[in-house]
């Protein structure tokens, strides 16, 4: 990768994004845009802000998750139910390129701040909405959390072990993928706006984001009508491709090509299996996955994880340990690539951040600031965009003091009131 030239700017430099987001989908999407150089103004309820601010653990009173999910953003505290708050918001809209929100469908319309109202002020705005189930359809009015989207999308039906209780993916995958789709759609809509001069609406749901991931499951069902089930760590159609127990832990192995299968057999002294026509390709090996698992594990259990990783790696067999997050966040490879970085915060000092996986040869992702204190940028942002002084004084007192909100009192993603309304 080439070294960025002095003066090269991130890809979305010059784009202004207004985020009316809570918890995950819209804030995660806006974080991606901020990492790419967009100026993101996060609009929050002046009384308590994004409910993530009440989610622990806390560092000197600041939410640790918030500091990371809302990096590279400015915080503006506005009551969108008030006349002055709406006026200030629309003044910001006039200078914006994108408005991204994940309130409950219809909430922005009830505030008088839906796409039509925004386009009346600035027809170039790209208006992006994230929600549980989408902006229309029979489920649209219902609250939709990540776990409900994982359940209804089928993800939970194939997660876990055969015969076990329902299990969700450990990270909020539908929330996060919805956020990634929102960010991708926004960048595409901005490109289209460059050609036409007008914005458009974007509608992404957690539900459809989850269903969109079912590539292998769709291939099976649409071809055969077969419904998949949980397989633990195993692959849907290829073997060996799963976790295997070792003498001191676990190792994941993916030997699904002729060369890697031969390498695995050589490493584990499986000459008979290599010569067996019943194991000749990944599909046939998958049909005999149960017995193959026993054969492989009878050998992996006699060797340590470190020994297996070294031997399999030397043989060209894809393999990896199952790291916990303590190991991930201190990983030698990630540190060698400079993945983690420290973002300054006005009261906490440096705050460690997960890096962006998007690496550009010439226009690197932004490494700016940690998630800001509530309302820290209200007066500066409103003044920068020419909001009348009397409106600034009405909505932005010199100090914004958030009300104390007990973490246990904060409801999940779709029921806590964000700036003036219910969330998506």
Residues acting as catalytic residues: 175
The two tokens of residue 370 are 């940690």
How many Cβ atoms are within 10 Å of 213's Cβ, its own excluded?
Answer: 16
Who contacts 381 (Cβ-Cβ below 8 Å, separation ≥6)? 41, 74, 76, 92
- Whole-angstrom Cα distance, residue 325 to residue 215? 28
What distances in angstroms separate CA 226 from CA 145, 242, 288, 298, one per listed residue? 28, 21, 18, 31
Burial of 39 from C-beta contacts in 10 A (0-12 / 13-18 / 19+): buried
- Whole-angstrom Cα distance, residue 211 to residue 281? 29
The two tokens of residue 22 are 């809570």
For β-strands 126-131 and 98-101, DSSP reports them as parallel
| Residues 79/45, Cβ–Cβ less than 8 Å | yes
- Whole-angstrom Cα distance, residue 74 to residue 381? 8
């Amino acid at each position: 990768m080439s070294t960025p030239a002095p003066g090269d700017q991130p890809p979305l430099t010059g784009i202004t994004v207004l985020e009316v987001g809570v918890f995950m989908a819209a804030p995660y999407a806006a974080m991606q845009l901020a990492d790419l150089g967009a100026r993101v103004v996060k609009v929050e309820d002046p009384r308590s802000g994004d409910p993530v601010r009440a989610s622990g653990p806390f560092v000197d009173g600041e939410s640790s998750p918030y500091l990371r999910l809302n990096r590279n953003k400015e915080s503006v505290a506005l009551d969108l139910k008030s006349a002055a708050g709406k006026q200030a918001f629309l003044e910001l809209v006039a200078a914006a390129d994108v408005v991204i929100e994940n309130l409950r469908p219809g909430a922005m319309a009830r505030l008088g701040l839906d796409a039509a109202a925004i386009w009346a002020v600035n027809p170039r705005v790209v208006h992006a909405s994230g929600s549980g189930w989408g902006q229309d359809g029979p489920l649209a009015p219902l609250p939709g959390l990540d776990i409900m989207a994982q359940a209804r999308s089928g993800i939970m039906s194939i997660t876990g072990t055969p015969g076990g209780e329902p299990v969700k993916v450990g990270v909020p995958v539908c929330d996060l993928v919805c956020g990634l789709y929102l960010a991708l759609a926004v960048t595409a809509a901005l490109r289209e706006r460059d050609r036409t001069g007008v914005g458009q609406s974007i509608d992404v749901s957690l539900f459809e984001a989850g269903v969109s991931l079912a590539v292998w499951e769709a291939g099976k069902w649409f071809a055969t009508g077969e419904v998949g089930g949980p397989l633990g760590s195993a692959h849907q159609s290829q073997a060996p491709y799963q976790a295997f127990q070792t003498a001191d832990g676990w190792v994941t192995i993916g030997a699904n090509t002729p060369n890697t299968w031969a390498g695995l057999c050589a490493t584990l002294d499986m000459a008979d299996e290599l010569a067996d026509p019943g194991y000749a390709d990944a599909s046939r090996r998958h049909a005999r996955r149960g017995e193959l698992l026993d054969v492989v594990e009878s050998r992996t259990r006699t060797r340590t994880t470190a020994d297996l990783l070294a031997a399999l790696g030397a043989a060209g067999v894809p393999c990896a340990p199952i790291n916990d997050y303590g190991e991930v966040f201190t990983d030698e490879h990630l540190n060698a690539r400079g993945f983690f970085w420290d973002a300054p915060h006005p009261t906490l000092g440096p705050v460690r951040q997960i890096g962006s996986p998007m690496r550009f040869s010439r226009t690197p992702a932004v490494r700016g600031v940690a998630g800001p204190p509530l309302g820290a940028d209200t007066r500066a942002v409103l003044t920068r965009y020419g909001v009348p002084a009397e409106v600034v004084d009405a909505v932005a007192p010199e100090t914004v003091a958030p009300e104390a909100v007990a973490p246990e009192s904060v409801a999940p993603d779709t029921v806590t009131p964000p700036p003036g309304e219910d969330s998506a």
